Amino acid sequence: MSDEAVLTVAEAAAVLKCSKQTVTRLIRKGRLPATDLGTSRRSNYRLPVEGVLHIQTAAALPASSSRPTRRKLPPVPSLA
């Protein structure tokens, strides 16, 4: 992940239009790829831009949908 473009949890939350807690939950469930820098007691995650954009496009609702629905997000392909 060192030469890739990365985002913080707050930046990923802004891109995905959700809360930081939701992004952290997605990371812990394995739905978003992330690296924990481990510099403090709390998690300090960095997320690759490609993984965040993959989730953003996969979670987008069709324009014809008038009612939001809960959908499971597809797994993110491994970037390693």
Query: pLDDT tens digit string along 12-43?
Result: 999 988 999 999 999 999 889 999 988 777 77
How confident is the model at residue 66, as a pLDDT?
56
Q: Which residue's structure tokens are 């992940």?
A: 1
Kindly report the number of other CB atoms within 10 A of residue 43's CB atom. 14
Kindly report the number of other CB atoms within 10 A of residue 28's CB atom. 12
Distance CA 74, CA 7 (A): 20
pTM comes to 0.66
Distance CA 51, CA 53 (A): 5
Distance CA 49, CA 54 (A): 9
